[in-house]
Amino acid sequence: MAQALDVTSIRARVAELLAEYRIPSAAIGVLHGGEITDFAVGVKSIITRDPATSGTIYQCGSVSKTWTALAFMQLVDEGKVALDEPVRTYLPDFRVADPDVSARVTPRHLLNHTHGIEEDYGDPGEDDDVYERMVRNIAGARQVHPLGHTHGYSAALGYAILARVMEVIDGKRWDDIMKDRLFDPMGLTSTSSRREHVHQDRAATGHLVRSLEEGAVLSPLGHLPRSFGPGGNVSTTASDLLTMAYVFLNEGKAPNGTGIVSPGIIREMTESRVPIPDPYMFGPEWALGLIVCDWYGQTVYAHDGSAVSQSARLRILPESNIAVSMLANAGPRDGFYRRVFNEILADLGAATIPDLPEPDPTLALDLSRYEGSYERPGTRYEVVAEDGRLHLRFSLNPMEAQLLDRPEQLDHELLQISETHFLMPSDDPLEDPQTVAIYDFENGAAQYLHTNCRVNPRAREEGGTVPVMAVSTVSDSNGFWDSLKKAYGRLPQGARWTLAVSSTDGTKAVNVIVHDSIDDVRNFLEEHTGAFATTDYFEADAANAVGLPTR
């Protein structure tokens, strides 16, 4: 007989944890023995104080990828697309910077995040042709790593390419495909792929938690751009999310008896796997639209999501015939999710989430093998050895740091777990411990740093040395800063964005970017902000700026 869930006790515990983490609300769903139990605790918004309910709709972020993968695999099931055929079979004009990748990348590479194409798709806008534009815009996109060489999470691009393939094959827009292929057949009236379609009186509001003392504050950013749609823009309820999980536990059938995909497709989605360089934070393998976890010998399928101050967690335990979902209007906080889910799973007598590994101080590592810079556009990590200890240093996007009220420069010690894995603890109560992989040694030096599922290759060239100050007279403040946020992710290789400030009235802005030349910075910023400001450019070397002699 299935062990019953003590909902009263779990609700009380969730309320305690919400207060501890300062998260306004969470909706929880448990699929057990074929039946869904769902409830919500907290408020949809700290302003209205309206209570969250089981019908409250949250943005599920990257859990959208599992929805998109399932719909794509319907096309595989119908014989309309093949996982190992080149993308060019369906998109003849598909092209990236590497001709070999252009010709050989497949849907399987996109589904399991091994394509290695940089997310360099510009601003494709918010119109119905957004995914067509994204594919067209990546003609010059470089490789972060060789095709199929390693796993490196693609936040938006990989699944946008899949969406464009779906559009060409089905002759519809991706949003309509999702409704016609999944949401309607499953009977999901609370799930949609466009924020405009969400019942606003049922929608949760996103919040930031910048300090435990301040608590939750409304997020100034309400949603992700439409470019993230297939990879991040599905909104749903905890119960609807479990309806999708039901398909994986029941050989492709929805709770209403509708066949979504065949049993063979479910096996393909769960059994086609690639290793994740960091096996501890999420799981040791990535399947087709799902993370594969190992909980004390039990296989668990999962996906996480974060969508501008809302977060989602889904765990599917086939051996126990259980799935658990959680949606929250702040986060993500890994500690919160682990504590809530472990309470539920323990109550049901199921496997619980393993702790992160403990460091092994007995390991004698040559720290010089890990030292160096690891980067991709918009992100740069420095691994430095000091006094026999390894440190990871990185800079936040200046605008992100300001939004979160965090320092721009962060420094974390890396504690060795193995030759290639490290624990990264934090003394900040808002940060959970993480794990980091530094691996793939060549000529005695690690070639990649993998953290939060993102892969960053060792920098191949020296970073820029010319600090360039851009002083802008802004005509459209919102357009200017929105464009800069998007531009940050497209910084030229080796560039560092060290300052971004605005005058109180928003009419003046100063940005400092360190790169190889003033002309490169001028071209970069004019491309992104020229429509919103008039900008003058100066070499911003501090000594020159104040007339001091240089040495």
Q: What is the Cα–Cα distance from 2 to 178, expressed in whole angstroms?
A: 34
Q: What is the DSSP string of 379-429?
A: EEEEEEEETTEEEEEEE--HHHHHHHT--SEEEEEEEESSSSEEEE--S-T
Q: What SS3 class is residue 470?
A: strand
Q: What is the Cα–Cα distance from 303 to 481, expressed in whole angstroms?
A: 31
List the catalytic residue out of 25, 45, 54, 62: 62
Residues whose CB is less than 8 angstroms from the CB of residue 310 and which lie 6 or more positions away in sequence, other chains included:
58, 59, 60, 61, 204, 206, 327, 328, 329, 330, 331
Active-site annotation holds for 192: no
Q: What is the Cα–Cα distance from 316 to 324, expressed in whole angstroms?
A: 7
Q: What is the Cα–Cα distance from 148 to 457, expressed in whole angstroms?
A: 14
For residues 507 and 474, is the Cβ–Cβ distance under 8 A? yes
In this structure, the strands spanning 207-209 and 291-295 are unpaired
**Local structure of residue 179 (DSSP, 8 states):** I
For residues 379 and 394, is the Cβ–Cβ distance under 8 A? yes
Q: Which of 474, 491, 450 is nearest to 536 (CA)?
A: 474
Q: Where are the beta strands (DSSP E) in 22-73?
A: 25-32, 35-42, 58-59
For residues 437 and 392, is the Cβ–Cβ distance under 8 A? no
Distance of CA 285 to the CA centre of its chain: 17
Q: Which of 310, 323, 328 is nearest to 228 (CA)?
A: 310
For residues 474 and 480, is the Cβ–Cβ distance under 8 A? yes
By annotation, the residues acting in catalysis are: 62
